[in-house]
Amino acid sequence: MADPMRIRAQVAGSNATVRVLMAHEMETGQRRDSAGKVIPAWFIQEVSATHNGKPVLAAQWGPAIAKNPFLQFTVKGAKAGDKIAVTWKDNKGDTRTDEATVA
Amino acid sequence: MRRFISSAASAAVLAALLAGCAALPASSELDAVAARAIQTSFSERGIAKLDRIQQDLAQAACSSDKAPDEATAARIMAEAKAGVKWPAGGWYIGDFREGERIAQSGRGMTWTDTSTAPSANGGNCYNCHQISKQEISHGTIGPSLLNYGRNRGVTDLLAPTAQPIIEYTWMKLYNARSYSACSTMPRFGHMGLLDENQLRHVMALLLDPRSPVNQP
Amino acid sequence: MTTRRDLLAGAAKVAALLAAAGALPAARAAWNNTAFEAKSLADAAKAFGGGAPVESKEVTVTGPDIAENGAVVPVGCATTLAGAKRLLLLVEKNPNVLAAAFDVNDLVEPSFNTRVKMGQSSNVYAVAITADNKVLYAVKEIKVTLGGCGG
Amino acid sequence: MKHAITAAAALALLAGAAAAQQPAAKTGADAIAEYRKLLEDGNPADLFEARGARLWTDKRGPKNASLEACDLGKGPGVVKGAFVELPRWFDDAGKVQDLETRLVWCMERYQGFSAAEIAKTPFDRGEMANVTALATFVANASRGLRFNLPQRHPQERQMYEVGKRAFFFRGGTHDFACASCHGVEGQRIRMQDLPILTKNPGDGVGFAAWPAYRVSAGQMWGMQLRLNDCFRQQRFPYPGFGSDVTVALGVYMGVNAKGAESIAPSIKR
């Protein structure tokens, strides 16, 4: 089971700025181990977010996103106390969802 | 005291000198404690054997915040000079492009490297020196070598006037202790880090008027 | 610092509930394999149904001039185009150019920041694709330096 | 001279950039500072800190116990303030320990793990990875506090002296000592500023910045791994985890950093 994300959602005017850190290897599939064997690709492919349950963000990622990914986006009309949930899904089918409250 | 006896072996090394007294041991005793700590803290791994912490004079005499006495410094420099191997056939200059490649590489001789052959090593030059104008990612531990040959009046490598600076540079690269007893610079020739041809290439990088280093 | 962990409380449970309620966006458009295998800006844009790329001041790409390490390079893409439906981030000299694609809608600002890997110094593109399949871009060169002892 | 050259190089770079959105000319150093600032906004160290916090309270190991009885120097279970006073002497262990060796000692004592087994485990693997996460958690609790290592116990003072000697010890194929890179103020290797470690190098610099998320490796590095990789680059043989030299160097750097504010866990190239 992957480690939880760290999500910070802060009010900025009438919006909320959301910063997310995800624990993931983001292996490109183009590296070799010390024995010369290709390390299989393993990376987050889809990221989505909801604001009080309503889908607001959808993204597709490739293996060029850096290890332990960072994502920042701004949700319109979000207020303190609102819930922001973020979900990722990787190419092996693993998925994880975490939620934060806008502060 | 009982505490020390029951503690781990590594602490026991240091414990002997304490023997219940609150004051620090004399400096020479601390030297001995530190020497033992260093000898027991490392183990060999891959090509990095324990002989690497057996110091020669040039290392031991330059291992404190104080410079060695004059006689010792003079001996280090004299031994370094005497040990310099001059290039076969009086051929000092190689290919500056190869020299740039060697200067860029900081690889070699760590416990994660697999070969101690000079061909596996870089010169680490940019780690410490500015060299060509194009490379902005350079260190400042050593002096800037930008326009190294040009600043020293080398316009023709075959001119007799160029010979002293060519020989000086070879000696500096081969064993930097020839001129400065406690120089921070690795002894590339003396320690077998770069072979004769690699040294020639670095020489070319520094001295060849066509090298990027010597462009205005 | 102390509040961050509080923000996470019970997240997994909540998510399970949300998912069960169908609140999370289901695997909408599948991952665009063709786009992520593209070797050029034009091919990546085409994989999303876009036309020929044109440089535009209405798209911005952000990032440092110099990256101390290519393994993590902070970059961002944004647009002021009213009709944008998608924003892409691309690294020209990576083996596959596309790094990320974000859907643009009325609920989020059309501005996203993330971090990419760069094998070497390269142009980085932010690309906006509009509802009528126009492809507009901004470009910035990011230099990746050799750092540390290099061993 | 140096500044003129880097500025020129940065200008050349700007001229080559296709976008016209650069404000004014920056020096190479300014550009690197900008890069570092951008990274600080989301430090993956947070992920390790969160894991370390769970590892501190989770019941684990053969004894199925948490680490909450562990005394990091400020009393059993006290985490805040411990980091800026380590390494220090511990009566119960009968030796001077740094943060990581103390954590391993507690993992053996309270949870029943084998300290020797952990010490042999590669960094970033198994229980050793957990030690690093725990160290990140403990350091984070002292963020903003100032280093003030105790030097009352004679062993603490002796370890300082041993550390000082180890710091200046030249060896390996390249004749490097710690002092080769960290003994003079204001120098850099390639583009990286080298902290002077023979005195307080300033808030959040050098000893006061580790553990750190190391971008180039995509790993969290505690001080033990930081020193381990320094010795690797020095072309020395392999320093044992928690060996006298590594702990003594911690004492030397930590005491010298007295008064420096800790920013650990930080993020590094």
Among residues C125, C36, C143, the alpha carbon closest in space to that of C76 is found at C125
Where exactly are the structural domains of chain A? 6-101
**Which residues are CB-contacts of A72 (< 8 A; sequence separation ≥ 6)?**
A17, A18, A19, A20, C76, C112, C113, C114, D41, D42
List the single residue in D with minimal CA-CA distance to C141. D17
Are the Cβ atoms of A21 and D41 closer than 8 angstroms?
Answer: no
- Chains touching chain D at 3 or more Cβ pairs under 8 angstroms? A, B, C
D174 and D118 within one domain: yes
pLDDT at D26 (0 to 100): 61
- Compare CB distances from A64 to C27, C35, C94 and report the shortest one's residue: C94
* C-alpha torsion angle, residues A10, A15, A17, A20 (rounded to 10): 90
Are the Cβ atoms of A67 and D218 closer than 8 angstroms?
Answer: yes
How many independent structural domains does chain D possess? 2
Upstream peptide bond of D265 is cis (omega within 30 degrees of 0): yes
List the single residue in A with minimal CA-CA distance to C103. A58
Chain C residues within 8 A (CB-CB) of chain B?
A: 145-151
pLDDT per residue as tens digits for the range A64-79? 999 999 999 999 999 9
Rg over alpha carbons for chain A, rounded to the nearest Å, is 15
Query: Where along chain B do the CATH 1.10.760.10 domains lie?
Result: 88-214
The pLDDT of residue D257 is above 50? yes
List the single residue in C with minimal CA-CA distance to A22. C114
Residue A1 — very low, low, confident or very high, per pLDDT cuts 50/70/90?
low
pLDDT at D5 (0 to 100): 38
Residue C29 — very low, low, confident or very high, per pLDDT cuts 50/70/90?
low
The pLDDT of residue B117 is above 50? yes
CATH architecture of residue range(s) B88-214: Orthogonal Bundle (1.10)
Among residues C123, C70, C115, the alpha carbon closest in space to that of C92 is found at C123
Give which of A56, A97, A102 to mutate to test C binding, by max C Cβ within 10 Å: A97
- Compare CB distances from A3 to D41, D42, D51 and report the shortest one's residue: D51
Report DSSP letters for A38-76, one per residue: BPPPB-EEEEEEEETTEEEEEEEE-TTBPSS-EEEEEEE
How many independent structural domains does chain C possess? 1
The pLDDT of residue D19 is above 60? no
Give which of A8, A26, A60 to mutate to test C binding, by max C Cβ within 10 Å: A60
> Is C128 inside a domain boundary?
yes
Task: Give the three-class secondary structure for B15.
Answer: helix
Distance CA D96, CA D111 (A): 21
Residues of chain D neighbouring A19 (CB-CB closer than 8 A): 41-42
What range defines the domain where residue D12 resides? 2-16+23-40
Inter-axis angle of helices B196-207 and B96-104, to 10 degrees? 100
Give which of B137, B138, B184 to mutate to test C binding, by max C Cβ within 10 Å: B137
What does the block give as tokens for A59? 């993204």
D87 and D36 within one domain: no
- Cα dihedral B75, B79, B80, B82 sign: positive
Residues of chain D neighbouring C141 (CB-CB closer than 8 A): 13, 16-19
C111 DSSP β-pair partners: C78
D154 and D65 within one domain: yes
Which residue is listed with tokens 């181990």? A33
DSSP 8-state assignment for residue D12:
H
- Chains touching chain A at 3 or more Cβ pairs under 8 angstroms? C, D
pLDDT at D30 (0 to 100): 83
Read off the pLDDT of each residue in D69-96 and give the average, rounded to a whole number: 98
Distance from CA of A52 to the nearest CA of D (A): 24
Please give the mean pLDDT across all residues of chain C.
85
D36 and D52 within one domain: no
Type and span of the H or E element at A8: strand A6-12
Could you give the count of Cα atoms lying within 13 Å of D243 in the half-sphere of its Cβ? Answer: 22
Distance CA D194, CA D179 (A): 11
**Which residues are CB-contacts of B40 (< 8 A; sequence separation ≥ 6)?**
B10, B13, D243, D244
For chain C, the residue count is: 151
Distance CA D70, CA D105 (A): 9
Distance from CA of B35 to the nearest CA of C (A): 27
D233 interfaces chain B, CB cutoff of 8 Å:
yes
For the question of residue D178 being annotated catalytic, the response is no
List the single residue in B with minimal CA-CA distance to D234. B110
- Compare CB distances from C7 to A7, A46, A56 and report the shortest one's residue: A7
pLDDT per residue as tens digits for the range C92-103? 999 999 999 999
For B32, other C-beta atoms within 10 Å of its C-beta total: 13
Read off the pLDDT of each residue in D109-128 and give the average, rounded to a whole number: 97
**Which residues are CB-contacts of B141 (< 8 A; sequence separation ≥ 6)?**
B127, B128, B129, B184, D180, D181, D184, D187, D188, D189, D194
D201 and D246 within one domain: yes
Are the Cβ atoms of C68 and D10 closer than 8 angstroms?
Answer: no
Q: Tell me, rounded to whole angstroms, the distance of Cα C89 from its chain centroid.
A: 4
Are the Cβ atoms of C14 and A101 closer than 8 angstroms?
Answer: no
List the single residue in A with minimal CA-CA distance to D215. A67
**Which residues are CB-contacts of B51 (< 8 A; sequence separation ≥ 6)?**
none
Are the Cβ atoms of D42 and A72 closer than 8 angstroms?
Answer: yes
Give which of A27, A68, A88 to mutate to test D binding, by max D Cβ within 10 Å: A68
- Chain C, window 89-108: residues with a beta carbon less than 8 angstroms from a chain A beta carbon: 91, 94-96, 98-103, 105-108
D245 and D154 within one domain: yes
- Compare CB distances from A65 to C31, C35, C99 and report the shortest one's residue: C99
Residues of chain B neighbouring C145 (CB-CB closer than 8 A): 136-137
> Is C19 inside a domain boundary?
no
pLDDT per residue as tens digits for the range D180-199? 999 999 999 998 889 999 99
Are the Cβ atoms of B105 and C146 closer than 8 angstroms?
Answer: no
> Is C134 inside a domain boundary?
yes
Type and span of the H or E element at C141: strand C135-144
pLDDT per residue as tens digits for the range D20-35? 333 444 667 788 888 9
What does the block give as tokens for C1? 């610092």
D142 and D11 within one domain: no
D34 and D110 within one domain: no
Are the Cβ atoms of C151 and B108 closer than 8 angstroms?
Answer: yes
Do B186 and B124 form a contact (C-beta atoms < 8 A)?
A: yes
Are the Cβ atoms of C147 and B137 closer than 8 angstroms?
Answer: yes
Residue C151 — very low, low, confident or very high, per pLDDT cuts 50/70/90?
low
CATH number at residue D135: 1.10.760.10
Distance from CA of B111 to the nearest CA of D (A): 6
C112 interfaces chain D, CB cutoff of 8 Å:
no
Chain A residues within 8 A (CB-CB) of chain D?
A: 3-4, 6, 19-21, 23, 25, 66-68, 70, 72
The pLDDT of residue B8 is above 80? no
D143 and D202 within one domain: yes
Do B138 and B129 form a contact (C-beta atoms < 8 A)?
A: yes
D154 and D181 within one domain: yes
- Chain C, window 8-37: residues with a beta carbon less than 8 angstroms from a chain D beta carbon: 8
- Chain D, window 135-174: residues with a beta carbon less than 8 angstroms from a chain C beta carbon: 140, 143
ipTM for the whole complex:
0.84
Type and span of the H or E element at D17: none
Residues of chain B neighbouring D181 (CB-CB closer than 8 A): 141
Task: Give the three-class secondary structure for B156.
Answer: coil
Instruction: For domain A6-101, give its CATH number from 3.40.1000.10, 2.60.40.10, 3.40.50.300, 3.30.590.10.
Output: 2.60.40.10
CATH number at residue C79: 2.60.40.2470
Residues of chain A neighbouring D42 (CB-CB closer than 8 A): 19-21, 70, 72
The pLDDT of residue D234 is above 80? yes
Residues of chain C neighbouring D21 (CB-CB closer than 8 A): 60, 138, 140
Do D142 and D262 form a contact (C-beta atoms < 8 A)?
A: yes
Residues of chain B neighbouring D168 (CB-CB closer than 8 A): 63-65
D111 and D7 within one domain: no
Residue B26 — very low, low, confident or very high, per pLDDT cuts 50/70/90?
confident
pLDDT per residue as tens digits for the range A21-79? 999 999 999 888 878 899 999 999 999 999 999 999 999 999 999 999 999 999 999 99
Among residues B93, B80, B89, B101, the alpha carbon closest in space to that of B197 is found at B93
D93 and D33 within one domain: no
The pTM of the full predicted model, rounded to 2 decimals, is 0.87
> Is C85 inside a domain boundary?
yes
